[in-house]
Amino acid sequence: MIPGSFDYFVPRSIPEAIELLSAHRDDVKVLSGGQSLLPLMKMRLSKPGYIVDIGKIPGLDGIVEEGNSLVLGALVTHAQIEHSVLLQKRCPLLPQTAATIADIQIRNRGTIGGSVAHADPAGDMPAAIMALDAEIKVAGPNGERWVKADDFFLGLLMSVLEPDEIVSAVRVPFTDKDKTAYLKAAPRSSGFAVVGVAVRITMDAAGICARAALGITGISDKAYRPQRSEEILSGKKLDSRIIAEAAAESTRNIEVIEDINGSSEYRTHLTHVYVQRAIEAALQG
Ligand SMILES: Cc1cc2nc3c(=O)[nH]c(=O)nc-3n(C[C@H](O)[C@H](O)[C@H](O)COP(=O)(O)OP(=O)(O)OC[C@H]3O[C@@H](n4cnc5c(N)ncnc54)[C@H](O)[C@@H]3O)c2cc1C
Protein backbone atom coordinates (compact mmCIF):
# COMPACT_ATOMS: atom_id res chain seq x y z
CA MET A 1 0.00 0.00 0.00
CA ILE A 2 2.87 2.37 -0.79
CA PRO A 3 2.53 4.61 -3.85
CA GLY A 4 5.18 4.78 -6.55
CA SER A 5 7.66 7.67 -6.39
CA PHE A 6 6.72 11.04 -7.82
CA ASP A 7 7.82 14.66 -7.92
CA TYR A 8 5.59 16.92 -5.85
CA PHE A 9 4.73 20.53 -6.71
CA VAL A 10 2.74 23.05 -4.69
CA PRO A 11 1.86 25.96 -7.00
CA ARG A 12 0.50 29.21 -5.54
CA SER A 13 -1.65 30.26 -8.50
CA ILE A 14 -3.81 28.70 -11.21
CA PRO A 15 -1.48 29.82 -14.05
CA GLU A 16 1.46 28.28 -12.21
CA ALA A 17 -0.49 25.03 -11.76
CA ILE A 18 -1.41 24.94 -15.44
CA GLU A 19 2.17 25.55 -16.47
CA LEU A 20 3.26 22.55 -14.39
CA LEU A 21 0.45 20.39 -15.77
CA SER A 22 1.32 21.36 -19.34
CA ALA A 23 5.02 20.63 -18.77
CA HIS A 24 4.26 17.10 -17.51
CA ARG A 25 1.01 16.52 -19.41
CA ASP A 26 1.44 12.79 -20.03
CA ASP A 27 2.41 11.77 -16.51
CA VAL A 28 0.79 14.20 -14.09
CA LYS A 29 -2.14 14.35 -11.67
CA VAL A 30 -3.79 17.20 -9.81
CA LEU A 31 -4.13 16.59 -6.06
CA SER A 32 -7.02 18.15 -4.14
CA GLY A 33 -8.44 16.31 -1.11
CA GLY A 34 -6.67 13.09 -2.08
CA GLN A 35 -9.64 10.93 -1.04
CA SER A 36 -9.89 9.25 -4.43
CA LEU A 37 -6.42 9.78 -5.87
CA LEU A 38 -4.38 8.56 -2.90
CA PRO A 39 -6.18 5.19 -2.56
CA LEU A 40 -5.67 4.64 -6.30
CA MET A 41 -1.98 5.51 -5.99
CA LYS A 42 -1.53 3.30 -2.95
CA MET A 43 -3.05 0.38 -4.84
CA ARG A 44 -0.79 1.30 -7.80
CA LEU A 45 -3.84 1.70 -10.03
CA SER A 46 -2.53 5.20 -10.71
CA LYS A 47 1.20 5.86 -10.93
CA PRO A 48 1.77 9.51 -11.85
CA GLY A 49 5.37 10.68 -12.01
CA TYR A 50 4.31 14.22 -11.03
CA ILE A 51 1.75 15.53 -8.56
CA VAL A 52 0.48 19.10 -8.65
CA ASP A 53 -1.10 19.83 -5.26
CA ILE A 54 -3.53 22.73 -5.76
CA GLY A 55 -4.43 22.89 -2.06
CA LYS A 56 -2.37 26.04 -1.42
CA ILE A 57 -3.81 28.13 -4.26
CA PRO A 58 -5.62 31.04 -2.63
CA GLY A 59 -9.25 31.84 -3.49
CA LEU A 60 -10.45 28.32 -4.34
CA ASP A 61 -12.03 27.48 -1.00
CA GLY A 62 -14.96 29.94 -0.81
CA ILE A 63 -18.67 29.99 -1.61
CA VAL A 64 -19.80 33.34 -3.02
CA GLU A 65 -23.05 34.81 -4.35
CA GLU A 66 -22.95 36.00 -7.95
CA GLY A 67 -26.31 37.37 -9.15
CA ASN A 68 -28.82 34.55 -8.78
CA SER A 69 -26.10 31.92 -8.47
CA LEU A 70 -23.58 30.61 -6.02
CA VAL A 71 -20.03 29.93 -7.09
CA LEU A 72 -18.16 27.27 -5.15
CA GLY A 73 -14.37 27.22 -5.44
CA ALA A 74 -12.92 23.86 -6.45
CA LEU A 75 -11.38 23.31 -3.00
CA VAL A 76 -14.67 23.67 -1.10
CA THR A 77 -15.00 20.45 0.89
CA HIS A 78 -18.02 18.21 1.25
CA ALA A 79 -18.14 19.19 4.95
CA GLN A 80 -18.16 22.91 4.06
CA ILE A 81 -21.05 22.27 1.68
CA GLU A 82 -22.93 20.19 4.24
CA HIS A 83 -22.72 22.94 6.87
CA SER A 84 -22.96 26.07 4.70
CA VAL A 85 -25.89 28.18 5.88
CA LEU A 86 -25.83 30.02 2.54
CA LEU A 87 -26.21 26.78 0.59
CA GLN A 88 -28.82 25.41 2.98
CA LYS A 89 -30.87 28.53 2.29
CA ARG A 90 -30.16 29.10 -1.42
CA CYS A 91 -29.34 25.66 -2.83
CA PRO A 92 -30.26 22.97 -0.31
CA LEU A 93 -29.76 20.07 -2.74
CA LEU A 94 -25.98 20.40 -2.40
CA PRO A 95 -25.90 20.10 1.42
CA GLN A 96 -28.51 17.32 1.19
CA THR A 97 -26.14 15.48 -1.13
CA ALA A 98 -22.87 16.25 0.69
CA ALA A 99 -24.29 14.91 3.95
CA THR A 100 -24.61 11.44 2.38
CA ILE A 101 -20.98 11.20 1.25
CA ALA A 102 -18.86 8.63 3.08
CA ASP A 103 -17.88 9.61 6.64
CA ILE A 104 -16.78 12.76 8.44
CA GLN A 105 -13.06 12.30 7.73
CA ILE A 106 -13.64 11.95 4.00
CA ARG A 107 -16.12 14.85 3.94
CA ASN A 108 -13.52 17.00 5.71
CA ARG A 109 -10.90 16.36 3.01
CA GLY A 110 -12.79 15.59 -0.20
CA THR A 111 -13.61 18.55 -2.45
CA ILE A 112 -16.29 19.44 -4.95
CA GLY A 113 -13.63 20.05 -7.62
CA GLY A 114 -12.13 16.62 -7.00
CA SER A 115 -15.52 14.90 -7.04
CA VAL A 116 -16.42 16.52 -10.34
CA ALA A 117 -13.02 15.99 -11.98
CA HIS A 118 -12.81 12.36 -10.87
CA ALA A 119 -16.09 11.53 -12.65
CA ASP A 120 -16.69 8.49 -10.46
CA PRO A 121 -19.77 6.66 -11.80
CA ALA A 122 -20.93 6.21 -8.20
CA GLY A 123 -20.04 9.73 -7.05
CA ASP A 124 -22.90 11.72 -5.54
CA MET A 125 -22.00 15.24 -6.68
CA PRO A 126 -22.26 14.56 -10.43
CA ALA A 127 -25.96 13.61 -10.03
CA ALA A 128 -26.69 16.66 -7.87
CA ILE A 129 -24.99 19.18 -10.13
CA MET A 130 -26.76 17.72 -13.16
CA ALA A 131 -30.16 18.11 -11.50
CA LEU A 132 -29.13 21.69 -10.67
CA ASP A 133 -28.10 22.57 -14.26
CA ALA A 134 -24.77 23.59 -12.74
CA GLU A 135 -21.79 24.82 -14.73
CA ILE A 136 -18.18 23.86 -14.21
CA LYS A 137 -15.37 26.34 -14.65
CA VAL A 138 -12.36 24.81 -16.34
CA ALA A 139 -9.00 26.59 -16.48
CA GLY A 140 -6.32 25.53 -18.94
CA PRO A 141 -3.50 26.77 -21.15
CA ASN A 142 -6.02 28.45 -23.49
CA GLY A 143 -7.84 30.33 -20.72
CA GLU A 144 -11.09 29.59 -18.93
CA ARG A 145 -14.37 28.05 -20.10
CA TRP A 146 -17.66 27.12 -18.47
CA VAL A 147 -18.98 23.62 -19.20
CA LYS A 148 -22.56 22.54 -18.49
CA ALA A 149 -22.71 19.65 -16.03
CA ASP A 150 -24.77 17.70 -18.60
CA ASP A 151 -21.87 17.93 -21.07
CA PHE A 152 -19.01 17.37 -18.63
CA PHE A 153 -19.08 13.62 -17.90
CA LEU A 154 -18.12 11.24 -20.71
CA GLY A 155 -17.89 7.82 -19.03
CA LEU A 156 -16.14 5.79 -16.36
CA LEU A 157 -13.69 8.23 -14.69
CA MET A 158 -13.76 10.24 -17.91
CA SER A 159 -14.73 13.84 -18.52
CA VAL A 160 -14.04 16.62 -21.00
CA LEU A 161 -11.06 17.73 -18.83
CA GLU A 162 -7.68 17.65 -20.54
CA PRO A 163 -4.64 16.53 -18.47
CA ASP A 164 -3.41 20.14 -18.32
CA GLU A 165 -6.74 21.60 -17.21
CA ILE A 166 -8.16 22.06 -13.74
CA VAL A 167 -11.67 22.48 -12.42
CA SER A 168 -11.53 25.84 -10.67
CA ALA A 169 -15.19 26.36 -9.66
CA VAL A 170 -18.75 25.08 -9.85
CA ARG A 171 -21.68 27.47 -10.34
CA VAL A 172 -25.17 26.52 -9.13
CA PRO A 173 -28.39 28.54 -9.38
CA PHE A 174 -30.50 29.68 -6.44
CA THR A 175 -33.16 27.01 -6.02
CA ASP A 176 -34.77 28.11 -2.76
CA LYS A 177 -38.21 28.18 -4.39
CA ASP A 178 -37.80 24.64 -5.77
CA LYS A 179 -38.40 21.34 -4.09
CA THR A 180 -35.26 19.23 -3.86
CA ALA A 181 -34.04 15.96 -2.38
CA TYR A 182 -31.14 13.55 -2.66
CA LEU A 183 -31.65 9.92 -1.78
CA LYS A 184 -29.30 7.00 -2.13
CA ALA A 185 -28.98 3.32 -1.43
CA ALA A 186 -25.43 2.51 -0.38
CA PRO A 187 -23.52 -0.18 1.49
CA ARG A 188 -22.42 1.00 4.90
CA SER A 189 -18.79 0.00 4.28
CA SER A 190 -18.03 2.64 1.62
CA GLY A 191 -21.09 4.83 1.38
CA PHE A 192 -20.80 4.76 -2.42
CA ALA A 193 -24.13 4.78 -4.22
CA VAL A 194 -25.61 1.55 -5.55
CA VAL A 195 -28.07 4.11 -6.77
CA GLY A 196 -28.34 7.81 -5.94
CA VAL A 197 -31.11 10.11 -7.12
CA ALA A 198 -31.11 13.92 -7.07
CA VAL A 199 -34.41 15.70 -7.68
CA ARG A 200 -35.27 19.34 -8.35
CA ILE A 201 -38.88 20.25 -8.99
CA THR A 202 -40.28 23.69 -9.76
CA MET A 203 -43.98 24.02 -8.94
CA ASP A 204 -46.21 26.77 -10.33
CA ALA A 205 -48.79 28.73 -8.34
CA ALA A 206 -51.52 26.23 -9.26
CA GLY A 207 -49.56 23.30 -7.82
CA ILE A 208 -48.51 21.95 -11.21
CA CYS A 209 -44.95 20.77 -11.84
CA ALA A 210 -43.55 23.47 -14.13
CA ARG A 211 -40.19 21.74 -14.52
CA ALA A 212 -38.48 18.62 -13.21
CA ALA A 213 -34.76 17.85 -13.28
CA LEU A 214 -33.30 14.58 -12.04
CA GLY A 215 -29.75 13.24 -11.79
CA ILE A 216 -29.06 9.55 -11.29
CA THR A 217 -25.73 8.02 -10.26
CA GLY A 218 -24.36 4.58 -9.44
CA ILE A 219 -26.06 2.41 -12.03
CA SER A 220 -24.13 3.08 -15.23
CA ASP A 221 -20.74 4.32 -16.39
CA LYS A 222 -21.64 7.93 -15.58
CA ALA A 223 -24.32 10.03 -13.94
CA TYR A 224 -27.22 10.90 -16.25
CA ARG A 225 -30.48 12.82 -16.59
CA PRO A 226 -33.51 10.55 -17.19
CA GLN A 227 -35.03 12.73 -19.87
CA ARG A 228 -38.25 10.75 -20.37
CA SER A 229 -38.99 10.82 -16.61
CA GLU A 230 -38.50 14.59 -16.56
CA GLU A 231 -40.89 14.96 -19.50
CA ILE A 232 -43.55 12.84 -17.80
CA LEU A 233 -43.43 14.97 -14.65
CA SER A 234 -43.34 18.37 -16.34
CA GLY A 235 -46.68 20.13 -16.77
CA LYS A 236 -48.53 17.64 -14.56
CA LYS A 237 -50.05 17.51 -11.12
CA LEU A 238 -47.72 15.13 -9.34
CA ASP A 239 -50.00 12.39 -8.08
CA SER A 240 -48.77 8.90 -7.25
CA ARG A 241 -49.70 7.54 -10.71
CA ILE A 242 -47.58 10.14 -12.56
CA ILE A 243 -44.67 9.71 -10.14
CA ALA A 244 -44.74 5.92 -10.58
CA GLU A 245 -44.88 6.32 -14.37
CA ALA A 246 -41.89 8.69 -14.32
CA ALA A 247 -39.94 6.35 -12.02
CA ALA A 248 -40.57 3.36 -14.30
CA GLU A 249 -39.03 5.30 -17.22
CA SER A 250 -35.90 6.39 -15.32
CA THR A 251 -33.68 3.61 -16.68
CA ARG A 252 -34.88 3.81 -20.28
CA ASN A 253 -31.96 3.40 -22.74
CA ILE A 254 -29.49 2.98 -19.87
CA GLU A 255 -27.08 0.06 -19.77
CA VAL A 256 -27.39 -0.80 -16.09
CA ILE A 257 -24.20 -2.27 -14.61
CA GLU A 258 -23.87 -5.24 -12.32
CA ASP A 259 -21.22 -5.82 -9.69
CA ILE A 260 -20.83 -7.25 -6.18
CA ASN A 261 -23.50 -4.83 -4.94
CA GLY A 262 -26.20 -6.12 -7.23
CA SER A 263 -27.33 -7.50 -10.56
CA SER A 264 -28.54 -5.13 -13.25
CA GLU A 265 -32.13 -6.31 -12.64
CA TYR A 266 -31.81 -5.50 -8.94
CA ARG A 267 -30.27 -2.08 -9.64
CA THR A 268 -32.94 -1.29 -12.23
CA HIS A 269 -35.69 -2.10 -9.74
CA LEU A 270 -33.91 -0.18 -6.97
CA THR A 271 -33.59 2.86 -9.22
CA HIS A 272 -37.32 2.88 -9.93
CA VAL A 273 -38.03 2.66 -6.19
CA TYR A 274 -35.52 5.40 -5.32
CA VAL A 275 -36.66 7.77 -8.05
CA GLN A 276 -40.22 7.45 -6.72
CA ARG A 277 -39.08 7.97 -3.13
CA ALA A 278 -36.80 10.89 -3.99
CA ILE A 279 -39.60 12.71 -5.83
CA GLU A 280 -41.95 12.11 -2.90
CA ALA A 281 -39.28 13.30 -0.45
CA ALA A 282 -38.74 16.48 -2.46
CA LEU A 283 -42.48 17.19 -2.57
CA GLN A 284 -42.81 16.63 1.15
CA GLY A 285 -39.91 19.03 1.79
C1 LIG B 1 -13.76 5.14 1.75
C2 LIG B 1 -14.26 6.18 0.79
C3 LIG B 1 -15.61 6.38 0.65
C4 LIG B 1 -16.11 7.34 -0.23
N5 LIG B 1 -17.45 7.49 -0.35
C6 LIG B 1 -17.94 8.37 -1.23
C7 LIG B 1 -19.33 8.55 -1.38
O8 LIG B 1 -20.16 7.96 -0.68
N9 LIG B 1 -19.76 9.42 -2.32
C10 LIG B 1 -18.89 10.16 -3.10
O11 LIG B 1 -19.36 10.93 -3.95
N12 LIG B 1 -17.57 10.05 -2.95
C13 LIG B 1 -17.07 9.17 -2.03
N14 LIG B 1 -15.71 9.08 -1.89
C15 LIG B 1 -14.83 9.91 -2.72
C16 LIG B 1 -14.66 11.30 -2.10
O17 LIG B 1 -15.86 12.02 -2.19
C18 LIG B 1 -13.56 12.11 -2.80
O19 LIG B 1 -13.31 13.18 -1.95
C20 LIG B 1 -13.85 12.68 -4.14
O21 LIG B 1 -14.30 11.72 -5.06
C22 LIG B 1 -12.61 13.29 -4.80
O23 LIG B 1 -12.34 14.51 -4.22
P24 LIG B 1 -10.86 14.85 -3.74
O25 LIG B 1 -10.84 16.30 -3.48
O26 LIG B 1 -10.50 13.95 -2.63
O27 LIG B 1 -10.02 14.54 -5.07
P28 LIG B 1 -8.61 13.84 -5.25
O29 LIG B 1 -8.64 12.48 -4.65
O30 LIG B 1 -7.52 14.75 -4.84
O31 LIG B 1 -8.60 13.72 -6.84
C32 LIG B 1 -9.45 12.84 -7.52
C33 LIG B 1 -9.17 12.91 -9.02
O34 LIG B 1 -9.58 14.17 -9.54
C35 LIG B 1 -8.45 14.92 -10.03
N36 LIG B 1 -8.64 16.28 -9.51
C37 LIG B 1 -8.87 16.62 -8.22
N38 LIG B 1 -9.17 17.92 -8.12
C39 LIG B 1 -9.11 18.42 -9.37
C40 LIG B 1 -9.34 19.71 -9.92
N41 LIG B 1 -9.71 20.73 -9.16
N42 LIG B 1 -9.17 19.87 -11.25
C43 LIG B 1 -8.81 18.82 -12.05
N44 LIG B 1 -8.60 17.57 -11.59
C45 LIG B 1 -8.76 17.38 -10.26
C46 LIG B 1 -7.22 14.23 -9.48
O47 LIG B 1 -6.12 14.38 -10.35
C48 LIG B 1 -7.70 12.79 -9.40
O49 LIG B 1 -7.62 12.18 -10.66
C50 LIG B 1 -15.20 8.14 -0.99
C51 LIG B 1 -13.82 7.98 -0.83
C52 LIG B 1 -13.34 7.00 0.04
C53 LIG B 1 -11.86 6.84 0.20
Write down the domain spans for the chain.
7-53, 63-173, 179-284
pTM score: 0.96
- Distance (angstroms) between ligand 1 centre and the Cα of 240 equals 37
pLDDT tens digit sequence for 24-70: 999 999 999 999 999 999 999 999 999 999 999 999 999 999 999 99
The residue whose CA is least distant from atom 33 of ligand 1 is: 118
Q: Could you check whether 63-173 and 179-284 share the same CATH topology?
A: no
Residue 181 neighbours by CB distance under 10 Å: 23
Nearest to 73 by CA among 116, 44, 126: 116
Please state the separation of Cα 285 from the chain's center in Å: 22
Atom number, ligand 1, closest to the C-alpha of residue 123: 11
Class assignment of domain 63-173?
alpha beta
Closest among 165, 227, 169 to 21, alpha carbons compared: 165
What are 225-268's pLDDT values in tens digits? 999 999 999 999 999 999 999 999 999 999 999 998 899 999 99
Evaluate: CB of 52 within 6 angstroms of ligand 1: no
50 bridge partner residues: 7, 28
DSSP structure class, residue 207: S
At the topology level of CATH, where does 7-53 sit?
3.30.43
25-54 CB burial, b ≥16 within 10 A, e <16: eeebbbbbbbbbbeebbeeeebebebbbbb
Å from CA of 51 to ligand 1 middle: 15
CATH architecture classification, 179-284: 2-Layer Sandwich (3.30)
> Could you tell me if the CB of 164 is within 6 A of ligand 1?
no
